[in-house]
Amino acid sequence: MATTMLQKKWNNNLETQASCNPETTEDPVFLISDLCALLETYIEPAQVKAVYRAYLFGENAHEGQQRLSGEPYIYHPLAVARILAEMRMDTNSIIAALLHDVIEDTPTAKDQLAKEFGEEIAELVDGVSKLTQVQFESRAEAQAENFRKMMLAMVRDIRVILIKLADRLHNMRTLGAMPPPKRRRISRETLEIYVPIAHRLGMHNLRLELEDLGFTSLFPLRYRILDNAVKKARGNRKEVVEKIRANIQERLQQEEMHVNVIGREKHLYSIYEKMRSKGLTFAEVFDVYAFRIIVDKPDTCYRVLGIVHNIYKPVPGKFKDYIAIPKTNGYQALHTVLFGPYGIPIEVQIRAEDMDKVANVGIAAHWLYKSGAEAKRQDLAQEWLRGLLEMQQTAGNSLEFLENVKIDLFPDEVYVFTPNGDIMTLPRGSSIVDFAYAVHSDLGNSCVAGKIDRRLAPLRTELLNGQTVEIISAPGAKPNPVWLDFVVSAKARSNIRIFLKRLKYDEAVELGRRLLEKSLASFSVNLNDVLPERTSKVLSEFKLDSIEDLFEEISLGNRVALLVARQLTAPQPPENRLQRSALRPQAIKNVFSRYAPDWLKGSQKQKYPLAIRGTEGTIVSYAKCCCPIPGDPILGFISIGRGIVIHRESCKNTKDYRSRPDKWVDVQWENQEKGVFSVDVRVDTENRRGVLATVAASIAEMSANIENISMNERDGSHSSMNFTLSVRNRKHLANIIRRVRRIDSVVRMIRSK
């Protein structure tokens, strides 16, 4: 759009509406006038003029576009800007809100916005815009990638998410024009992602409205039933609520306390969630009476608490001091639950006036109030954003990142202390491992044990409020995949996954190298003797970036090592006599193996089985059907995606695989195998008291661990015990069997087939 055209329209509007009077006709100018009147209450006239210029730019950009409701599209950006103006957001936020769809929905480019309004506003608009130029395989992937883009922009400037939340709020208010499937999809996305973000940023009023709008659209029938139930029960409650409120107000006035006591009513989505999550009936949830007491300053909160506890007895363990220890979103208040008249439970929140104002608008309070408390609130938000940035760096893809963010938005918290007395805030249900990763990723990766209040505790122990947690680490320790079963924080889950992925990759590369070297040995070629040009050609044919990627493909069974070796050693005649004379000795030595007929080199061909050490990690697994251990004759089967699965030669399942010789690899145990291996044994015993304890003790004496045990009663006098043991090799197992067979009650002990 040309600047002269903008200027002309700007001058025409100034002539007709110099003061932005809201009492004009109902058209887009009236709406911008209404916005200007609101802005004039807290920003300078020159800034209002800049907002008006942005409106003209957006109106021209969206000219001819309509929403599904039939109204001009510019109505939507104006409504979004108005929501932010009601939060008293700064001028650049209002301008970005007016322009937030021009990059996504019009031909306007980011560079043009930067030229007209500055780089800061262009970055804000770009942060909110979806990726429209990129094609995705699924809607879920597109949603995740757009969310990831928005969150990264949010890390740079938190106003991006405030604009997006205002945008989502107006879309939810006007959702009725959408077809039902789209309404449900948008509502679910709102409840799963945007509501938790608003809660995390402390934006109470916006969160409540999003929750109820989402609930209405996603579950309309449940909403109507619950709404009717609330209206029906409300009549009986009014008298009780007013009586309790008046009682508290009168008592506080007697103590010369200038306070405001408000009877709160739970909104519908809160009632629904509590019924659903805790399995409560409507009566059980609705019988809780809630009150908010607003006082003049923080010190008064504690005085009021004492008086309220004198009026009604407090419920033990239900007091929370969020003034001394604010929530992660900066929320501050005193919470307590009381035994009211007739045993009615009463929830009371006590907060100062500033706390109440800030609680309603959350992080947006930073732009409304410039005190130290709001600066601290923004610091808390920035700390959370830095955690998001770390998560996206370790996430494998956008879908994994979105999953991690959803976990991180878990609403309830637990507060624990470090040994130095610092407070750590973690999601409810966090374990010692979650705490270790919250302190530092390296500490989490190397933790081996933990202490709670100076006492050793298992790593999976759930943390409770007020506990002091200490982490014991070891230099060579590594994360255990089992940790993923009990960690709840996104940071812990993300770091464990990325470590295990890297570990699996390293293991796969090492195994793939060994498999290829074994196959190359069949051609009497060493890996170091393969010409670099030949390696590059093979990598290019397979569309791989590096030799390590080729090793990984081989170890996972995606490439057959023998075929890769054949391609790497395929004849490549020299270009001239000089090159022929320059052949390395080792290459000349290999001419026989490459060009001699099979009958001639049959006697020369050797077998080079792959040595299994027991320390290959997840890339080599041991079949559960036969439980091979060192000393057993074994075969290796290449399973796509899993690596090599080791079977005993006598295993019945190997018969089904023998028709696929390309998938088998010759393996043998290394002389100095390491680690422990699982094996199943059966012990037949007489039914005597204490026989299980005796057998278990004998196994323990032989330095073997019992992984699992089950019992079957064969008849009235005999039983069979099935053990899964961890042993070093066949000799170790034989020693265990000899030791157990010496027990009088043991009839026999055999290895399970």
d(CA 259, CA 350): 10
Name the β-bridge partners of 612. Answer: 669
With CA atoms as reference, report the closest residue to 446 among 470, 480, 420: 480
Selecting among 40, 90, 104, 548, the annotated active-site residue is 104
For the record, the structure tokens of 369 come out as 């109030």
Question: Are 466 and 426 spatial neighbours (Cβ–Cβ below 8 Å)?
Answer: no
Angle at 444 between CA 441 and CA 445, to 5 degrees: 90
Catalytic, 105? Answer yes
Is 507 marked active-site?
A: no
Question: CA 558 from chain center: how many Å?
Answer: 30
Distance CA 635, CA 646 (A): 6
Pairing relationship of beta strands 634-639 and 643-648 according to DSSP bridges: antiparallel
**What gap in Å lies between CA 587 and CA 524, rounded to an integer?**
10
* Two structure tokens written together for 146: 């757009």
Q: Torsion over CA of 44, 46, 48 and 54, rounded to 10 degrees?
A: -150
Selected catalytic residue, list 23, 34, 44, 105:
105
HEC profile for 174-192? CHHHCCHHHHHHHHHHHHH
The residue type at 92: N
Contact 276, 215 (CB under 8 A): no
280-287: long-range contacts at Cβ-Cβ below 8 A with a sequence spacing of 24 or more? 282/226, 282/229, 282/233, 286/229, 286/230, 286/233, 286/237, 287/344, 287/345
Nearest to 494 by CA among 403, 588, 601: 403
Backbone angles phi, psi at 670, to 5 degrees: -70, 150
For residue 611, give the nearest of 668, 551, 674 by alpha carbon.
668
Q: Give me 41's structure tokens.
A: 């209450």
> What's the rounded Cα separation, in Å, for the pair 183 and 185?
6
Catalytic residues: 104-105
